[in-house]
Structure 1
Amino acid sequence: MTALDHQLLDVNGITLSLYSAGPLDGYPVWLLHGFPECWHSWRNQTQALAEAGYRVLVPEMRGYGQSSAPTDPAAYDVFSICADIQAAMNALGQDKLCVIGHDWGAQIAWHLALLEPQRVESVVGMAVPFGGRAKKPAIEIMRQIHADSFNYIVYFQTPGVAERELDADIAKTMRMMMHNSSAAVPKDFFLQAKPLGARLFDGMQDPGALLEWCSEEAFAVYLQTFDGRGFYGALNWYRNFERNWELSASIAGQRVEQPALFIIGDKDPVATLEAYTLKRMPELVPRVEQHVLEDCGHWIQNEKAAEVNRLLLEFLARHA
């Protein structure tokens, strides 16, 4: 296995836990995880990229693991989270690099590409496409559509509600999240219709065991990420749709002009949620190269690690 370095950086008013691997003089590649994962979700990519000579940087994002988890939900807007990464880049003296993100990490990667057009020379998004700034916050639309039915993002909005369910059994929560939005279940099983007042895991399957792409050793790192803390920091990312929209006025209409790669699984429920955005993305990211991986759910970098690594290495070879 590739040797890992670890450091705690004081940046942007928080402590940022950062893992890194590969030669110190290698081209920097940042890997940003999503919800509810951890830095170790990039274990396959960290090794492959480091062995290829890249300097790989994998933070525990704000609210996760050893990084700070502010109690105020307003501390988790995308621009504050981008500022964490930007300050870390400054501290490490990096002026040219690639940013790769999955799920919420993809949102941060797309925004870093907008905010840092000179430093971020190329960008990769997985699962979550770039849709630009909407005419109004997406949460308003979700609340209207789901006024009489369950929606998991609406369910996440009130502090303490989702925490009571997710924190009750962290191992079960992680098994359920991994299983019910992977290729092990029918497409969009995670999005099944439920009545208002339902909970996240109502109607879903508890596999009772780990999926083949997550070993017991890897799962232990996921659990450690939330041990003693629970999910409140991770859930707070979802509580900033209005704030993100208000703060993004200055970049409204901007396109991601850098070379870009987008990868999604054919069974990822996000593909259903973001169907319109996926069609529109080439207008907003004119240099994007898109790939849909077959028999793959939401956890793309582990469900299809070899295919993802191949696409990343080919992309970086052209643009890093």
Structure 2
Amino acid sequence: MMDVPDFIEGDLRIALTDGQRLVTEVDGVTVVWHSWGEQDSATVVLLHGGSGSWLHWVRNIAALRDAGWRVLVPDLPGFGDSDLPPGCVDVDALSSYLHDGLQQLAPKGPVQLVGFSFGGMTAGLWLQAYPQDAHALVLVGAPGMGLQTAVRTPLKGWRHLATSEAQEEIHKYNLMALMFQNASALDSLALALHTANVHRDRMPRRRLSSTDILARALPDVQVPVSAIYGEHDALYRERLPEVQGAMQMLCGQWNRWTTVSGAGHWVQYEAAQAFNAALIQTLSDQA
């Protein structure tokens, strides 16, 4: 049984308790994975965002499992319960640990990668380096396209603050500045899991998300590519049509683009029902 954090309660907690915690090791670096669903089913691998963990997908896992997928969700190296590899400072150092870990887990069905934000860049670089590892890719709110929004609310630091109450106020501010469009999305669960995540981020000086690293990788990705973004994603406010056009041009096997109305960057949490429907449809089409 899965050791679900105490702040996840009620039906959501019950829905996640049948998961398994799996560990892979590559060159002494352990990566923790979480698994739901039948082992011989087609597999979807969910990669979380920066300063995150598997908890970024807490509102999506059960829907995918119940739709018939095996769901694998690693804590990316340097985040959550996974080790930080020696010398690793950004996304470009992660692919080999995920590739080797997936080979150890040896999923029996076809695999699709879904990457959120930093995890989207990770997935793109992973398939650039190891094109045989998956049959399709879905990018969710992924940066690294070399396009910046003209108006961006800067995030605030919190580690220097002496009290948990003061830190909590900054966490709320940062969630609204980057992750959410609507204040109603910032509930107690979002705050609790965000707080748990950021305290376990051992890669705080990441900078490659502001470059075109994903855009340069996409022409080398040899599988169908789709994208799902919140309508008000703070990374690309008022520039989503440009992102869509760039992806369509760069990807050799472009599949589809979906914009989720009314949602911000953390679209799979803020608009979980609409996102789950869009993702399941996209995965089914690509399968």
Query: What's the TM-score once normalised by structure 1's chain length?
Result: 0.70
Check the 8 A contact 2:230/2:261 in 1, yes or no.
yes
- Cα displacement (A) at 1:312: 1.4
Q: CA separation of 1:130/1:120 partners in 2, compared to 1, >3 Å: closer, same or farther?
A: farther
For residue 32 of structure 2, the aligned residue among 3, 6, 17 is 17
Query: What's the TM-score once normalised by structure 2's chain length?
Result: 0.77
Q: What SS class does the counterpart of residue 99 from structure 2 fall into?
A: helix
Q: Which residue of structure 1 lines up, in the alignment, with residue 139 of structure 2?
A: 125
- Paired AA for residue 122 in structure 1: A
Q: Does 1:86 align with 2:51?
A: no
Counterpart mapping for 1:171-190 below 5 A: 171-181=168-178, 182-184=180-182
Q: CA separation of 1:43/1:305 partners in 2, compared to 1, >3 Å: closer, same or farther?
A: same
- Paired AA for residue 60 in structure 1: D
Q: Does 1:238 align with 2:207?
A: yes
Q: Does 1:166 align with 2:164?
A: no
- Cα displacement (A) at 1:259: 1.8
Q: CA separation of 1:294/1:252 partners in 2, compared to 1, >3 Å: closer, same or farther?
A: closer
For residue 66 of structure 1, the aligned residue among 60, 81, 87 is 81
Q: CA separation of 1:166/1:61 partners in 2, compared to 1, >3 Å: closer, same or farther?
A: farther
Q: Aligned Cα RMSD in Å? A: 3.2
Partner Cα distance (2:169, 2:83) in 1: 24
Say how many residue pairs are matched: 261
Q: What SS class does the counterpart of residue 15 from structure 1 fall into?
A: strand
Check the 8 A contact 1:34/1:103 in 2, yes or no.
yes
Partner Cα distance (2:217, 2:65) in 1: 36
- Cα displacement (A) at 1:264: 1.0
Partner Cα distance (1:11, 1:318) in 2: 33
Q: What SS class does the counterpart of residue 257 from structure 2 fall into?
A: strand
- Paired AA for residue 316 in structure 1: L
Counterpart mapping for 1:93-112 below 5 A: 93-94=106-107, 96-112=110-126
For residue 221 of structure 1, the aligned residue among 169, 193, 212 is 193
Deviations 1:26-46 (A, max 9, x none): 211111111233211101211
For residue 129 of structure 2, the aligned residue among 108, 115, 118 is 115
Q: Does 1:265 align with 2:257?
A: no
Partner Cα distance (2:227, 2:239) in 1: 13
- Paired AA for residue 75 in structure 2: E
Relative contact order (C-alpha < 8 Å, sep 6+): which is higher?
Answer: 1
- Paired AA for residue 23 in structure 2: L
Identity over the aligned pairs, expressed in percent? 22
Partner Cα distance (1:235, 1:274) in 2: 26
Q: What SS class does the counterpart of residue 136 from structure 2 fall into?
A: strand
- Cα displacement (A) at 1:216: 2.9
Give structure 2 stretches of 5+ with no counterpart.
1-14
Q: CA separation of 1:7/1:295 partners in 2, compared to 1, >3 Å: closer, same or farther?
A: same
Q: CA separation of 1:12/1:178 partners in 2, compared to 1, >3 Å: closer, same or farther?
A: farther
For residue 283 of structure 1, the aligned residue among 239, 249, 260 is 249
Check the 8 A contact 2:172/2:191 in 1, yes or no.
no
- Cα displacement (A) at 1:71: 7.1
**Whose Rg is larger?**
1
